[in-house]
Amino acid sequence: MNFDFETGEVLLIDKPLTWTSFDVVNKVRYALKKKLGKKLKVGHAGTLDPLATGLLIICTGKMTKQIDSFQAQEKEYTGEFTLGKTTPSLDAETEVSEVFATEHIDNELVIKTTQRFIGELDQIPPMFSAIKVNGKPVYKQARQGKEVALEARKISIREFEILAQEIPKIQFRVVCSKGTYIRSLARDFGLALDSGAYLTALTRTRIGEFRLENAWQLTDLLQELAKE
């Protein structure tokens, strides 16, 4: 394949589970340095948590100037909430800290509750996030057991669909604006059900017009970059 990494390329990658977004950037940057014999600007357009998979946009060279515009585009995710429990990180990174009743929850209530989350919302980000307070990422402070007050942010959810239910597990699809935290949606959804919930799986399937089905597997891309 013909790439022009210095002029700039937009690489779509299916981020592997447990990898950070920066792990992927560093791996691609190292592979390009080895291939080209010099350093090149490489960056990603929108972080995915380590326990999430799916579409990660990697920009090289002059295309890194487009990162902000890519980040601003609408996102689509599929995933799984587990009802009746919560964790400090709002996902499976930390142990379950609270348990709630789920006997009152049925399929109809779950579907009805999704309607409360469509439109413009005020959402409080997770404590385990890269948002900075007093110059420090709040996740670092959270891991030290410190409480940090985070302000709610305006977000927009255009679609929130339940794909399958086997309570306490529910499968969902969400189309949302930049800045939406699906872990926070899990927390708020659980509260709206008079219970709890946390995120147990997440895949980003789309950013704007870029789709996961057109993405490289990271191992395949690295093999391609290693070719002479």
Q: How far apart are CA 53 and CA 203, in angstroms?
A: 5
Q: Quick count: other Cβ atoms within 10 Å of Cβ 27?
A: 18
- The single residue of 14, 49, 91, 188 carrying the catalytic annotation is 49
Distances, alpha carbon 26 to alpha carbons 20, 22, 31, 60, in Å:
10, 6, 9, 12
**Contact indicator for 11, 216 with CB cutoff of 8 Å:** yes
Tokens of 53: 């998979």
Check if 49 is active-site: yes
Q: How far apart are CA 71 and CA 57, in angstroms?
A: 9
Number of helices (H), then strands (E), belonging to the chain: the values are: 6, 14
Residues 6+ apart with CB under 8 A from 202: 49, 51, 52, 53, 54, 77, 78, 79, 80, 91, 182
Q: Quick count: other Cβ atoms within 10 Å of Cβ 189?
A: 25
Annotated catalytic sites, by residue?
49
